Amino acid sequence: MARDATIILRHLPYFLAVVEEGSLQAAAARLNTTQSAISRRIRLLEFEIGDVPLFERSARGMRLLPAGEALLTETRTVLAAIGRAKAQIDAIASGVAGRITVGFAEILGRRTDMLDALRDFAGQHPTLDIQMKPLISEEQRGELTAGTIDLGLLYHPIGEDIAATLSGNGQSFASAAILDDPFLLAVAASHPIATMPDLRLADLGDEPIVWASHKKNPRLYDLLQEACDRRGFAPRIAMETPTSDITMKIVAASMGIGFVPASLIGHAPPEVAFVRPVDFDVAMRASLVWRTTPDGDLPYRVAQHFLDRVSHI
């Protein structure tokens, strides 16, 4: 019986190809073999299941008989199970199995391209339990060094070697750049600045500006300040916020203007417009950061597999 089951399993992909393609010729082309080879496989399958015909053969193609209909449902179930088992075995063999925690800046979680990459990665590795933890970038730095997250998707200044910054005290990290995100000025859509041509920082005058929190996001705070200093512009900082989401809500309420990453454009309320002053050029880099340990370590392997899927972004 075990031998019969093994033989039947070998024939099932050919059976499914004939069903889905509708003819021996099309099935042969799909499987890169000959019609006679496909026909022989079908005859052997019919013999192994009790010499029961599965198809009605005609000049118009192959039509499933009741026995074939019954076998079709189970065939799809069996082949799907085998496919899942193979994926799990491949994942275990490659080291991509277990549980891992990934910190991510919420702005990156809003990008459809990044979400698609995460979804695709998780689907390709069903043996990997991925825990996603939303954290602002500054918090991720601390949790990476503390070991409470295994990888981080975070923002940092473009000129900073984030891996070198985090490494030390016996710890070592690696990183890979994912994308560079330019900052734009978010203003209320009804504000005159929203339609001002060739806007410059000096045109902002005494406008109340919502600024990145020095406590929660000191690196962005300094980048914005340095960009203004280079142009001799002294911003009137009306308030500081920990996240760009909060900045946009304040802007939407016409309580100020503020600089936010371009990734948020597609998620802004209709009350918010975006402009880029011609003399303002600030961007932050989003990178994947992970702890470097021996090659068999899970964070390293997950990072390599993930980067294969986000390299197109």
- Evaluated on CA atoms 259, 220, 162, 137, the torsion sign reads negative
Q: Which residues contact 192 (CB under 8 A, 6 or more apart)?
A: none
User: What is the tens place of the pLDDT at every residue in 141-185?
Assistant: 999 999 899 899 999 999 999 999 998 878 889 999 999 999 999
- Indicate if the pLDDT at residue 232 is higher than 90: yes
Q: Is the pLDDT of residue 312 over 70?
A: no
Q: In the beta sheet, which residues pair with residue 56?
A: 63
Q: Is 135 helix (H, G, I), strand (E, B) or coil?
A: coil
What does the block give as tokens for 291?
A: 């702890």
Two domains, one topology: 2-94 and 99-313: no
Q: How far apart are CA 141 and CA 162, in angstroms?
A: 9
pLDDT, tens digit (0-9, with 9 covering 90-100), for 190-221: 999 999 989 999 999 899 999 999 999 999 99
Residue 1 in this model has a pLDDT that exceeds 50: no
Lowest mean pLDDT: which of 79-83, 86-90, 186-190, 284-288? 86-90
Class of domain 99-313: alpha beta
Residue 94: pLDDT band (50, 70, 90) is low
Query: Could you tell me if residue 277 is left (phi over 0), alpha (psi between -120 and 50 degrees) or otherwise beta?
Result: beta
* pLDDT, average across residues 9-18: 90
Mean pLDDT of the chain: 87
Spell out the domain ranges in the chain. 2-94, 99-313
Q: Which fold has domain 2-94?
A: Arc Repressor Mutant, subunit A (1.10.10)
Phi, psi of 280 (to 5 degrees): -120, 125
Task: Please give the residue that has the higher pLDDT: either 45 or 297.
Answer: 45
Alpha helices in the chain (DSSP H): 2-21, 24-31, 35-48, 66-94, 106-109, 112-124, 137-146, 162-166, 218-230, 244-252, 298-310
Give the whole-number percent of the chain exceeding pLDDT 70: 94
Q: Which pairing describes strands 283-291 and 173-188: parallel, antiparallel, or unpaired?
A: antiparallel
CA pair distance 241, 247, nearest whole angstrom: 6
